[in-house]
Amino acid sequence: MKRLITLTVNDKKYEVAVEPNMTLVDLLRYELGLTGTKKGCEVGDCGSCTVIMDGNPVNSCLVLAVQANGRDILTIEGLETDEGLHPVQQAFVDKGAIQCGFCTSGMILSAKNLLDRNAKPDEAEVRMAISGNLCRCTGYQKIVEAIKSASGWREGSGKSHE
Amino acid sequence: MLLPKFDFHEPTTIEEACQIMAELGQKAKLIAGGTDLIVNMKRKVLSPEHLVSLSRIDALKNVDLSDGPLRIGACVTAAALAESEGIKRTFSAFSKGASVLGTPLIRNLATIAGNLVSARPAADLPPSLMAYGAKVVLKKSAGERSVALEDFFRGPGQTVVGKDEILTEILIDKPLGYTGAGYIKLGVRKTLEISLVNVAAFISLDSQDGSIQRARIVLGAVAPIPIRVPSAEQILVGEKPTETLFVRAGETAAQDSRPIDDFRGSAEYRRDMIEVLTRRALEMAFNEARSHE
Ligand SMILES: Cc1cc2nc3c(=O)[nH]c(=O)nc-3n(C[C@H](O)[C@H](O)[C@H](O)COP(=O)(O)OP(=O)(O)OC[C@H]3O[C@@H](n4cnc5c(N)ncnc54)[C@H](O)[C@@H]3O)c2cc1C
Ligand code: FES
Ligand code: FES
């Protein structure tokens, strides 16, 4: 039987009826049309389905939609503002950290979460923060460089997005 | 990958959850972080008719570091355990285990009870918890019991938890005096890794420069369940800690364990690693014991 749930996604409230066996990633992609969140392995290995739930990045393929009832979700679509791309997004573009793009949403969300907690991470901390996000294209080097270059953004010129 | 269909229950108290489990019994599965269960359901290894979620029971999310034993609620996540400064200070080996479990994303979902009840031979939380002598509390409508973690595991995926029971709490007595512990996970990668071998060691000294009073060595991933190695522990008790002593304990642990060959590593390699890692975990435990009071 379907259940009515309410959740906030990218600051917008949604009320949807979902089957208990629907995962959060399927709710986002197929019911809400937010296809920025990707689906790779579907079993927690790859991180392409990363979303931030109540402030913590998680694999949305392992969360049931009904478990997201009442929660606050941030997906890649929620990062851009009227001022433009989020500094982490911009850094990925500038540094050539995107190839096929399949890992990018998850990478950026994991990176944003890191920088929200630790404005000046060292390289080891950057690599640890994205260690649940697999990339088959870039070899990670440019991703790490992009995250490091974005790490000063809070002190930067009126570019704060929060 | 579709999930099999099920009915979903979301109790908000432990009592309510116990009642639901008493009624549904065999047909129901508890779900906490879901990182083990959802994967098994997607792979069609399991298809319970009912899922009973523990995530809305706030009483299962507390860590109590005040007086008495450390009490950890069933639904505390690996991330919360790894981030707790109090746990790191007093239970460094356990903190280490939590910090190397899965990936940062998995740690935000994975709970301590889920890690114990899923009973994977290579799981990261059981070895150190066993080395510290942890106990778990199992509740059902008819009452509760407490079980030493040592007596908890029955085989891969199997524990003493009854169909209508819920693991509500993990208790660890605070180590007194000169005690220390160490945990080492060996894999081929730094993250997203199932251990080839993991080793936890705990020792207590009778004084700062004294002899070893108690010792526990626990090996993971080398048997169907995490195991203690009494023969190696006996070598240590009553002796002055020295490098040679730790080497002997490592050799004994390696001799008395029966690891298997699989695609991750050969039995021979695992046995060699047990020797080295037991020695190193004991050194970690000793160094901590000397500086703790
Ligand atoms: C990509 C990936 C990597 C992983 N890496 C590791 C790793 O490195 N190390 C490691 O140890 N594990 C690892 N795991 C396994 C898993 O994440 C952990 O075992 C986790 O702690 C399970 O907790 P959970 O809350 O997600 O459990 P769930 O999946 O919710 O539950 C697991 C089992 O425990 C039962 N259960 C849960 N809570 C209770 C309770 N309170 N009382 C009674 N029964 C209960 C459930 O019914 C189910 O049978 C990994 C998993 C994935 C998907
Ligand atoms: S799709 Fe969720 S981790 Fe791969
Ligand atoms: S850019 Fe292709 S997977 Fe990372």
Domain of A91, CATH number, reads 1.10.150.120
Decide: B281 and B217 in contact? Cβ < 8 Å: yes
Check B191 against A131: CB less than 8 A apart: yes
Residue A157 — left, alpha, or beta (φ > 0 → left; ψ -120 to 50 → alpha)?
beta
Per DSSP, what are the bridge partners of residue B186?
B197
Only one residue has tokens 């990045």, namely A57
Give the pLDDT confidence of B138-190 residue by residue, as tens digits.
Answer: 999 999 999 999 999 999 999 999 999 999 999 999 988 899 999 999 987 77
The low-confidence residues of chain B, meaning pLDDT below 70, are: 293
Question: Which residue range is the domain that position A31 belongs to?
Answer: 3-78
CA distance B111 to chain A (A): 13
CA angle A19, A132, A127 (to 5 degrees): 155
Note the ipTM here: 0.94
Instruction: Classify residue A26: in a domain, yes or no.
Output: yes
Question: β-pairing, B50-53 with B7-9?
Answer: parallel
Q: Are residues A74 and A93 in the same domain?
A: no
Whether A65 is in a domain gets the answer: yes
**For residue B222, how many other CB atoms are within 10 A of its CB?**
26
What is the least distance, in Å, from the CA of B94 to any CA of chain A?
A: 19
Q: How far apart are CA B53 and CA A67, in angstroms?
A: 8
Residues A71 and A126 in one domain: no
Q: What integer pLDDT is reported at residue B32 of this predicted model?
A: 98
The answer to whether the pTM exceeds 0.90 is yes
pLDDT value for B192: 74
Of A46, A78, A110, which residue constitutes the final position of a domain?
A78
HSE, side-chain direction, 13 A CA sphere, residue B233: 17
Backbone dihedral region for residue A33 (phi beyond 0: left; psi -120 to 50: alpha; all else: beta): left
Cβ contact B190–A23 (<8 Å): no
Q: Which CATH architecture group holds B58-172?
A: 2-Layer Sandwich (3.30)
A109 part of a folded domain: yes
Q: What is the domain count for chain A?
A: 2
Residue A13's pLDDT is: 98
Q: Are residues A106 and A52 in the same domain?
A: no
- pLDDT tens for chain A, residues 1 to 162: 899 999 999 999 999 999 999 999 999 999 999 999 999 999 999 999 999 999 999 999 999 999 999 999 999 999 999 999 999 999 999 999 999 999 999 999 999 999 999 999 999 999 999 999 999 999 999 999 999 999 875 544 444 444
Residue A25 lies in a domain: yes
Torsions phi, psi for B142 (to 5 deg): -75, -10
Å from CA of B59 to ligand 2 middle: 30
The C-alpha of A22 sits at a distance from chain B's nearest C-alpha, in angstroms, of 7
Residue of chain B nearest A111, judged by CA positions? B104
In a domain, A162, yes or no: no
Is the residue at A160 inside a domain? no
* Atom 2 (ligand 3) nearest CA: A100
pLDDT at A157: 40
Q: Chain A contacts of B38, Cβ < 8 Å?
A: 23, 61-62, 64
Is CATH 3.40.50.720 what the domain over B7-53 is classified as, yes or no?
no
Under 8 Å CB-to-CB from A33, ≥6 apart: which residues?
Answer: none
Q: Could you state, in order of their start, the residue ranges of all structural domains in chain B?
A: 7-53, 58-172, 178-289
Q: Give the domain-ending residue among A78, A105, A131.
A: A78
The SS3 of residue A80 is coil
Q: What is the pLDDT of residue A29?
A: 98
A56 and A93 in a single domain? The answer is: no
Considering only CB atoms, B35 lies closest to which of A19, A23, A62, namely A62
A58, A131, A133: residue with CB nearest B109: A58
Question: Cα A108 vs. chain centroid, distance in angstroms?
Answer: 6
Q: Clarify whether residues A61 and A91 are in a common domain.
A: no
Cα-Cα end-to-end distance for chain B: 52
DSSP string, B252-277: HHHHT-----BTTB-HHHHHHHHHHH
Give residue B1's pLDDT.
86
Q: Which ligand is nearest to the CA of A96?
A: 3
**What pLDDT score was predicted for residue A153?**
56
Question: What count of residues does chain A have?
Answer: 162
Superfamily of chain region B178-289: CO dehydrogenase flavoprotein, C-terminal domain (3.30.390.50)
Tell me, what CATH number does A45's domain have? 3.10.20.30
**Final residue belonging to a domain, choices A28, A56, A78:** A78
